Structure 1
Amino acid sequence: MSIPETDKPKILVLFAHPYPQLSRANRSMIDAVRDLPHVTVHDLYETYPDFHIDVKREQALLAAHDVIVMQHPFYWYSCPSLLKEWMDAVLEYGWAYGNGGTALQGKDLVQAISTGGPDYAYREDGYNRYPMEDLLRPFERSATLCGLTYRPPYLFQGVRLKSQQEVEAHAAAYRHWLDGYAHPAQQAACAQPVVPATDR
């Protein structure tokens, strides 16, 4: 059953890939969702090639959306550097967390991540030694500190081994997933974590 357009949450896709022209997976995924009316695609590397982030603009974008999707390749067990710079600059104390920092409460955060290695490489007995949920703990904790609801990541793993047909099928599935994303809530707002001044 499809969700009426008026009931769909506003979704902000923070797209962070320094070389999108070289990425089969991420380029296909982002192209597949650009025309969805309730989705705003925000290409961070295109917008900020000099890494000088307009904090107020980014905060206004976040405030205007219900769901934040961080779409990025998995670089060195984390995200590309501009997305980390974005987090450092935009998620300010007193705005996103801490005393008075309630701007993001009740919104969802999801990561749409691609990995070159297959899913079985991300296990305790695999090449990378840790499951993805362990490697993503810093993102989860950053989200919950800001009163966001951290949702399970949308993963596309083993990209190097995928055919073009499989990449296109994943992009179509990504579009379907975003198009049918349920509104984060009529849920009660998350309790705002208390951040003691001595812990900052």
Structure 2
Amino acid sequence: MKKVIIINGHGAPMMSMDNKRILEDVKAQLQDVEIVTLAELYPDFKIDVEKEQTRLLAADLIVFEYPIWWYSAPSILKKYVEDVFAMGFAFGPGGDKLKGKKFIDSFTCGAPEKNYLPGASGEDIEKMALPMKATCWLCGIEYLSQVGTYGSMYYGLDTQEELDAVNAKMDDHAAKLINLIKSVCHGN
């Protein structure tokens, strides 16, 4: 299997139910995947750049897993990209170290889909992926796909039926992500 690293960019992973469930499903089915939880490693936002660059150099496939917060990635994931994807490493003169790596963007949106339709926020899941797509383009990384799911918030659920519906969405998200990873790793 090719080397897969998942960067868990959830800003509060101990409070996460949706992203945690996705990552648990992935780990149960793909034991060789390395999951790096940024907020646990770097609660002070002082990212060990050399260590994280070394991780990325060893990976064939990079996956970012995170919730959309305020129409963007959480600040810990942004800080990671700002520090680790540095000029001279990921872009710019001599910055070709990630060139040719593959990338999957995996994220959840707590709000229901109706909140992302034109006239609401005006931003759909395709637009949510634009910053990551542009980052990949700049760094010569092959942006393969995205897995995005609306309505992942567990807060305020009143019935077991509502809880089951969200759990089913997260299981579906995880299954899509797992299939994408397997496809990349097995050359399909």
**1:4 alignment counterpart:** none
1:95 Cα deviation after fit: 1.1
2:62 maps to which of 56, 62, 68 = 68
* Distance in 1 between residues matched to 2:25 and 2:166, nearest whole Å: 11
1:130 aligns with 2:113: no
| Distance (whole Å) between structure 2 residues aligned to residue 59 and residue 19 of structure 1 | 23
Report the CA distance shift for 1:175/1:135 in structure 2 as closer, same or farther (over 3 A).
Answer: closer
Q: Which moved more, 1:101-110 or 1:115-124?
A: 115-124
Q: Which has the higher helix share?
A: 2
Matched, 1:43 2:37: yes
Compute the displacement of 1:31 (Å).
1.8
Report the alpha carbon displacement of residue 91 of structure 1 after superposing the two structures with TM.
0.5
Q: Does 1:156 align with 2:149?
A: yes
Query: Does 1:30 pair with 2:29?
Result: no
* Count of paired positions: 178
Q: Tell whether the 8 Å contact from 1:107 to 1:184 is kept in structure 2 after alignment.
A: no
Instruction: Pick closer, same or farther for the CA change 1:136–1:175 going to 2, 3 Å.
Output: closer
Letter in 2 for 1:69: V
Q: Alignment partner for residue 12 of structure 2, among 5, 14, 19? A: 19
The gaps in structure 1 that reach 5 residues or longer are 1-7, 187-200
Q: Using the alignment, how far apart are the partners of 2:52 and 2:107 within structure 1? A: 21
Q: Choose the corresponding residue for 1:99, options 81, 93, 103.
A: 93
TM-score normalised per structure 2 = 0.83
The 1:148–1:22 alpha-carbon spacing in structure 2 relative to 1, beyond 3 Å, is: same
Counterpart AA for 1:160: M
Percent identity over the alignment? Answer: 30
Matched residues in 1 for 2:116 and 2:81: separation?
25
Q: In the alignment, is the contact (CA less than 8 A) between 1:32 and 1:171 conserved in 2?
A: no
Residue matched to 1:183: 184
Separation of aligned partners in 2, 1:104 and 1:54 = 17
Contact 1:106 1:184 in 2 (8 A): no
TM-score, normalising length: structure 1: 0.79
Gaps of 5+ in 2: none
Classify 1:107/1:178 alpha carbon distance in 2 versus 1 (closer, same or farther; 3 Å).
Answer: same
The letter of the residue matching 1:140 is K
- Could you tell me how far apart the structure 2 residues matched to 1:184 and 1:143 are? 19
